[in-house]
Chain A
Amino acid sequence: MNEWLDRHMGRLFLAPAVTLILIFSIFPLVASLILAFSRLRLRGGGFTMRWVGFRNFEKQLFGSEQFHLLGTFTTVSILGWIVGLAGTGLLIWWMVRYARTRFHWVGFLGRMITFGIAVGLLWLFCATLLSGNPFGTVGTTLFYVFVGCGIQFLIGTALAFACSQKLRGRTTFRVIFFVPMMVTPIGVGYTFRMLADVTKGPFAGVWQWAGLGDFAWATDPWAARIFITVADSWQWIPFVFIMMLAAFESVPRDLVEAGDLDGASPWQSFREITWPHVMPIAATVMLIRAIEAFKIVDLPNIMTSGGPGIATESVSLQAYYAWRSLDLGQASAVAYILLFVTVVICVSFFNLVVLSRVRAQK
């Protein structure tokens, strides 16, 4: 018995984790896929399932829910056509260049999927935003991911760089800047709603002075989206800040000082010494942040309930609302579309940016 234990101890150490993930992650993943292809009816405590094939996805992508998930496509403006065609051309050129230089079928297949999603999202962008049509939850989620993470990265990195200088009191600043990350997202949502109140909030005076005394940011799509982005940034800039600060502090100081002695300007030494050193960490930080950003659901739910209309609804929130109206098939289909987009974008970013940087360093 003891001998058996000893021999299999390695497996026994790993087994609990693998079992838990299989039960709570892999099995639900498979079950969710099956749900996405079926229609569910609740019936007296139990439920019946019927296989409907691709009908759930069809409804979301091409049918009556298209406006909700993707947006309304009526006409594509000239600007939309120009940007769309130019972007598609660029992507085709990228594919052709890859196929010509170093062709490998795994790489090609992966890039084909990336290419497909990129072209799809590009045209989504051109046909909705650039053509003045309203966009759906996918567009909103991508707005939160790209604009939100972009802002968070820029501000977080700038603050980290400032805090990595030899300044008195930087430890205090560091502790203060870290705090928002601890606040529950629900709390962030309500607090920012409170702050944004135009009559009772702290900035009521400013609103009155600007002549916006009866402006309701929750009824204007862009104001609401930007507001959610501000709250999200307040919460997540600390994460970027902490990681980038540690990255800046790991830059060897003698290198920077040697640069100073050789008469490098601060900008030069930042570009030539500091940035290459922190770049791989920056890419990883962005990846982690983006992965979490795709899941955004608390803030839109608390701050605007997805409104006005569907203007601030993220894909996760749409799936949640579908679940709440007991439409489990649609909920799973929406969630799977989110999963697909997330995985393709994150894996592409990982392969094309993070790994290529790592390879370049070696």
Chain B
Amino acid sequence: MSTRRPGLFEPRAIGQMAPATKILLYTILIVWAAFVLFPIYWLLITSVKTPAAVNQGPFFLPFIDFEPSLHAWKELFVIDYEDTLRAYMNSIIISLSATALSVLVGSMAAYALSRVDYAPNLITILYFVALLAGVGVAVGIYDVDWMLATAVAVALFFLLARAVGRIYEVRLGNGDILFWIISQRILAPIVVVVPIYMMFQSVRLLDTHLAIILTYAVVNLPIVVWLMYDFFNSIPRDLEESAQIDGATMIGTFREIILPLSRAGLAATTLLVMILSWNEYLLALFLSTTKAQTMPILVAAMNAGERGVLWWTMSVTIVVMIIPVVVLAVILQKYITKGLLVGAVKG
């Protein structure tokens, strides 16, 4: 028996990696980590550079290559603080409220879909859509007063819905409703934003928090329903059944039993929706001008002027935008992974 030294590409023992493979893997991971971190590092050091230090060419190391200064931070948070702080507060208010609304409404719907059997009639739905289109055509093209048109449509719907529904009994199930809600995510915001803009304009809500909060909540609703549906489905039903025997209502069960049990799923969903609303750009561009301006809009507006992009102040605004989300995400990373995966594996 000759004891041959194992080659670089051969594992030393079963279930272990060969040294060469290990080195290769580490190289890949470290190179990628550098690629991921370098832009963020560059942002951080640019935020403490003076305009001169930026314009004279690339300097990499603070204190060695260049003398760091907080002038850009001062400019944004001491001298010109009104715009920055307003946008920052707007962003916080909007993303928190939109997330709360979206998670509340979405998880209620998800819970209902996972526990109650629905059987909406397809013909009634088609009838409803036809009425909706009719209202749109009447208001848009024939200049009918929109309140009148809506009232007529509502009356027609309630008068004839049952009669129409009886013609064909084609029932949809919970799966169809779920698919319908989730499929709203395919909708590019650009398709719906123009009518939403006109709608808020007609009720004079443009450039208010409420308009943006409502829009963000709806845009993110499909994600909440999708993630929470799978989460609720994985909770065993015995607890609720015994509570129901004790006379608990659906709201009571939902609040006392289900919500506490699904904390992990709620954390993941909340964080995801919060990040999405915090970073959202296109919808805010349409719906806000000054008062309700959010951070992404402020950053874009600041740099669109005549002076070109001022790298130092731009870096500061982006750094203050990423810090809270990155901190939250790193702390809660485990939950996000879990939450996302539940949706992907089963959905």
Chain A residues packing against B (C-beta within 8 Å): 5-6, 9-11, 13-14, 16-18, 20-21, 23-32, 34-35, 38, 49-51, 158-159, 162-163, 165-167, 170, 173-188, 190-195, 199-205, 234, 238, 242-243, 245-247, 250, 257, 260-261, 281, 284-285, 288, 291, 294-295, 297-298, 301-302, 316, 319-320, 323, 328, 331-332, 335-336, 338-339, 342-343, 346
Contacts and interface: CB of A to CB of B under 8 A. Distances in A.
A200 B57 contact: yes
Interface string B203-237: 00000000000110111010001000000000000
A177 B36 contact: yes
Given A29-B192, A179-B36, A200-B57, 8 more contacts: A24-B219, A28-B193, A31-B198, A34-B141, A167-B22, A183-B318, A191-B318, A194-B309
Contact of B194 (A175, A284, A332): A332
B interface: dominant SS: helix
A291 B219 CA distance: 14
13 contacts: A10-B118, A17-B108, A18-B109, A21-B221, A178-B330, A179-B37, A180-B36, A187-B318, A187-B322, A246-B337, A250-B345, A331-B190, A342-B186
Contact of B321 (A26, A187, A199): A187
A193 B345 contact: no
A interface: dominant SS: helix
B196 to A, nearest CB: 5
Interface residues of B, number: 102
B23 to A, nearest CB: 11
Contact of A34 (B37, B136, B186): B136
A342 B333 CA distance: 31
Contacts of A202: 38, 42, 58, 60
A184 B282 contact: no
A173 to B, nearest CB: 5
Contacts of A257: 14-15
Contacts of B194: 28, 32, 35, 323, 328, 331-332, 335
Nearest to A298: B281
B17 interface: yes
A320 B46 CA distance: 31
Given A17-B108, A17-B181, A34-B136, A186 B299 contact: yes
A193 B309 contact: yes
B191 A335 contact: yes
B157 interface: no
A186 B285 CA distance: 12
Contacts of B260: none
B195 interface: yes
B192 A24 contact: yes
Interface in B162-197: 177, 181, 184-196
A193 to B, nearest CB: 7
Contacts of B347: 284
Nearest to B111: A13
B296 A186 contact: yes
Contact of B282 (A6, A281, A316): A316
A20 B215 CA distance: 9
Interface string B303-341: 100000101001100100110011001100100111011
B77 interface: no
B116 interface: yes
Given A17-B225, A178-B329, A302-B300, A31 B140 contact: yes
A243 B195 contact: no
